[in-house]
């Protein structure tokens, strides 16, 4: 079992990866990648049943993960590489022509660990619901995890998936939302208010769990609670801060989709401990 100290060390390295990748690509999405780092680190290193060396695109026989908020590709690529899906050195190719690490996850390049392309917001949760139903129908007892953004939850298709999953009692679907309160254009409340997101999911027939997305004990408890087969799909609302770990990016939506320059990158890296070695 991975300890909370180990998870925190991995998360620090993942945050360094994100800064270095986005900075060398000179574009990309650091803000939401940093807000969802602790949750994805816990998921990939302490929660999901997965075996990178035996992974196949069908995800058969393993838990599956879908990044519905596809712009969070940097954190996704880092946790995949650090889990052993592909060489960590490949992180340096983010957004380069011909790279397997496109700006948004793509399956055509054959990057291990990615079973679904995403980036057009709202679609991933529908696909995850279908994948979870498929696992149930084929007798695969594994779960499907899906990360949504709170700004992404302003998309209508999210709620269509919500109705579908509740109707079909897809209880092996564990969705979670990075509730950082911000999106590309500012506060989610000022763009299209989500009001009480927990009440909304409850009214759609989902089990709702709320947790602190920067506290590993709270994150692990939430995933454990979400593991029960009670006939309901699960939505965990992880309360987070955009840009977490880097002081000048924290709670600032300017960093939703902008790369730090060299000096900003050095400042950011000086605030994040190197724990597993840079790529």
Ligand X SMILES: Cc1ncc(C[n+]2csc(CCOP(=O)(O)OP(=O)(O)O)c2C)c(N)n1
- Point out which residues bind ligand X (CB under 6 A): 29, 31-32, 69, 71, 119-122, 149-152, 180, 182-184, 242, 256
Residue 91 contact among ligand X, Mg ion, none, beta carbon within 5 to 8 Å by kind: none
| Short-list 233, 230, 228, CA closest to 163 | 233
Minimum separation from the CB atom of position 179 to Mg ion (A): 7
Residue 230: other Cβ atoms inside 10 A: 9
Residue 214 contact among ligand X, Mg ion, none, beta carbon within 5 to 8 Å by kind: none
Interaction of residue 243 with Mg ion, rule CB under 5 A: no
Minimum separation from the CB atom of position 271 to ligand X (A): 20
Minimum separation from the CB atom of position 63 to Mg ion (A): 24
For residues 162 and 233, give the distance between their C-alpha atoms in angstroms, rounded to a whole number: 8
For 236-265, give the DSSP string: EEEE--TTTTSTTTTT-GGGSS----HHHH
Residue 121 contact among ligand X, Mg ion, none, beta carbon within 5 to 8 Å by kind: ligand X
Instruction: Tell me the three state secondary structure of residue 232.
Output: coil
Given the complex with ligand X, which of 22 and 88 has the nearer CB atom?
22
Asked whether 61 and 270 are in contact (CB, 8 A), the reply is: no
Interaction of residue 38 with Mg ion, rule CB under 5 A: no
Given the complex with Mg ion, which of 34 and 132 has the nearer CB atom?
34
Given the complex with ligand X, which of 140 and 178 has the nearer CB atom?
178
Q: Which residues contact 254 (CB under 8 A, 6 or more apart)?
A: none
54: left (phi over 0), alpha (psi -120 to 50) or beta: alpha
Residue 117 contact among Mg ion, ligand X, none, beta carbon within 5 to 8 Å by kind: none
Judged by CB under 5 A, the number of residues near Mg ion is 6
Asked whether 222 and 209 are in contact (CB, 8 A), the reply is: yes
Asked whether 125 and 68 are in contact (CB, 8 A), the reply is: yes
Residues near Mg ion (CB under 5 A) are 149-151, 180, 182-183
């Amino acid at each position: 079992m991975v300890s909370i100290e180990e998870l925190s060390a991995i998360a620090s390295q993942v945050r360094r990866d994100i800064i270095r990748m986005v900075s060398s690509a000179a574009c990309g999405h650091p803000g939401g990648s940093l807000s969802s780092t602790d949750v994805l680190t816990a998921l990939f290193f302490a929660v999901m049943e997965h075996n990178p060396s035996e992974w196949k695109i069908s995800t058969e026989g393993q838990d599956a993960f879908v990044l519905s908020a596809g712009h969070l590709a940097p954190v996704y690529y880092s946790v995949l590489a650090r889990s052993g899906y592909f060489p960590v050195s490949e992180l340096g190719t983010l957004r380069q022509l011909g790279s397997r690490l496109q700006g948004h996850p793509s399956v055509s390049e054959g990057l291990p660990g990615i079973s679904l392309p995403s980036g057009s917001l709202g679609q991933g949760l529908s696909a995850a619901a279908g994948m979870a139903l498929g696992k149930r129908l084929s007798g695969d007892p594994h779960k499907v995890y899906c990360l949504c953004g709170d700004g992404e939850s302003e998309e209508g298709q999210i709620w269509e998936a919500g109705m579908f999953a509740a109707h079909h009692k897809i209880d092996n679907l564990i969705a979670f939302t990075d509730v950082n309160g911000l999106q590309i254009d500012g506060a989610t409340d000022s763009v299209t208010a989500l009001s009480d997101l927990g009440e909304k999911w409850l009214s759609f027939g989902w089990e709702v769990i709320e947790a602190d997305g920067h506290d590993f004990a709270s994150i692990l408890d939430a995933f454990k609670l979400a593991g029960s087969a009670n006939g309901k799909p699960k939505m965990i609302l992880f309360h987070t801060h955009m840009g977490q770990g880097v002081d000048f990016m924290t709670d600032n939506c300017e960093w939703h989709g902008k790369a730090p320059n060299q000096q900003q990158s050095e400042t950011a890296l000086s605030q994040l401990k190197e724990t597993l070695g840079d790529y």
